[in-house]
Amino acid sequence: MLSIDGLRSGYGKSEALHGVSMDIEAGTVVTIIGANGAGKSTLVNTVSGLVPVMSGRMSFEGRDITDLAAADIVDLGIVQVPEGRKLFGPLTVEENLELGAYRSRSVKASEIARRRAFVFELFPRLAERAGQRAATLSGGEQQMVAMGRALMAQPKLLLLDEPSLGLAPIVVDRVFDTLAKLKGDGMTMLLVEQRADMALAIADFAYVMATGRIVANGPTDAMRADTRVQQAYLGEAGVFEG
């Protein structure tokens, strides 16, 4: 579904990804694990068209997306739940959700209502708080809004950048329950997570990143058995470097 080949990208003249290749099959969940600064967000943001490509190629459903603008990438069905949620604090839950569908100007009000009903069914808590300003929600509720907003765009490929960041353990469990539900519905997902244990439990395939490169990849069962990955779980940063 998504194919990335020799991707280099970065900020200004400074290259952050040094030739990343990755494939995501439709209907699978792929996770990227790696230490702080490894380039996980840069990769997700490059796929989303937010960080410029220096060289290499990306294609989605057979179509070259390397030089597409972010808005056009969303239109194709690649939708991101960004690191740190990035909600519009003064707007309500419902207004934030509607912004997710806004790209698709041609979408009828009835279709938006149908998608909203789907999001409220997935997150009943948001239905209760539809009129509340996003800034006043708990961290877990904000993450629900961020995920709901992405789902309002009806993604084919959902990119999730650290959905568990800063959340209490019980709330993290709920986020992963939701991801499991979406996976059960057949949603294709690229999941960036520092909680490697949980990410490997839900994903089919994993890539390990260090300093802008893929340093290991494989089916999650094999990756869990990899002692280097086990050491990385325990926080021994740098086992894949040097």
Give the interface with ligand ATP as residue ranges (CB under 6 A). 11, 16, 34, 36-42, 83
- Residue 113 CA: distances (Å) to CA of 80, 103, 110, 158, 217: 21, 15, 5, 21, 40
User: Pairing mode, if any, of strands 205-210 and 213-219?
Assistant: antiparallel
Nearer to Mg ion, 41 or 188 (CB): 41
16 binds, among Mg ion, ligand ATP, none (CB under 5 to 8 A by kind): ligand ATP
Residue 11: which of Mg ion, ligand ATP, none does it interact with, CB under 5 to 8 A by kind?
A: ligand ATP
Contact indicator for 114, 69 with CB cutoff of 8 Å: no
Q: Annotate 90-113 with DSSP letters as a single string.
A: TSBHHHHHHHHHTT-TT--HHHHH
36 binds, among Mg ion, ligand ATP, none (CB under 5 to 8 A by kind): ligand ATP
Give the C-alpha separation, 219 to 236, whole Å: 22
Rule CB under 5 A: choose which of 9, 31, 41, 178 binds Mg ion.
41
Choose between 80 and 220: whose C-beta lies nearer to Mg ion: 80
Q: Which lies closer to ligand ATP via its Cβ, residue 38 or residue 187?
A: 38
Least distance to Mg ion, CB of residue 41, Å: 3
**Size of the chain in residues:** 242
83-122 residues in contact with Mg ion (CB under 5 A) are: 83
